Amino acid sequence: MTLGSLVILLSIALVAFQFWRLRGIGEFSIQYANQYCANQNLQFLSLARRSTRISAQKGKLDWKIVYQLEFSSSGSDAYIGTMTCFGHAVIEMYLPAYKID
């Protein structure tokens, strides 16, 4: 095995690991958003990724992902908020003012 093929193999392994990690963060985010909406008596509609980048926070390098959260307060309306995750931690949750029935 040459050095070039070893570098290619390690690069492929790193890309696969990061893809797997992003999938894990995505699954965590869906569960968190669903639970958050249930605690706030809201109906969770969808979660879509808006941006993904590598960022440093408190000396730790990890993925910073901003999601678009769609929810409903009465079932007949829809509101869009944002949820920001750093790794497997939610660091910001923003919901606009919504109608309470």
The residues spanned by each domain of the chain are 3-94
The per-residue pLDDT of the chain, averaged, comes to: 94
Band (pLDDT 50/70/90 cuts) for residue 101 is confident
- The predicted pLDDT at position 84 comes to 97
**For tokens 């992902």, what's the residue?**
65
Per-residue model confidence as pLDDT tens digits over 24-59: 999 999 999 999 999 999 999 999 999 999 999 889
pLDDT at 100 over 90: no
**pLDDT value at residue 47:** 96
pLDDT of residue 16: 95
User: Burial letters for 19-38: b for 16+ Cβ neighbours within 10 Å, e otherwise?
Assistant: eeeeeebbeebeebbeebbe
Rounded to two decimals, the pTM is: 0.87
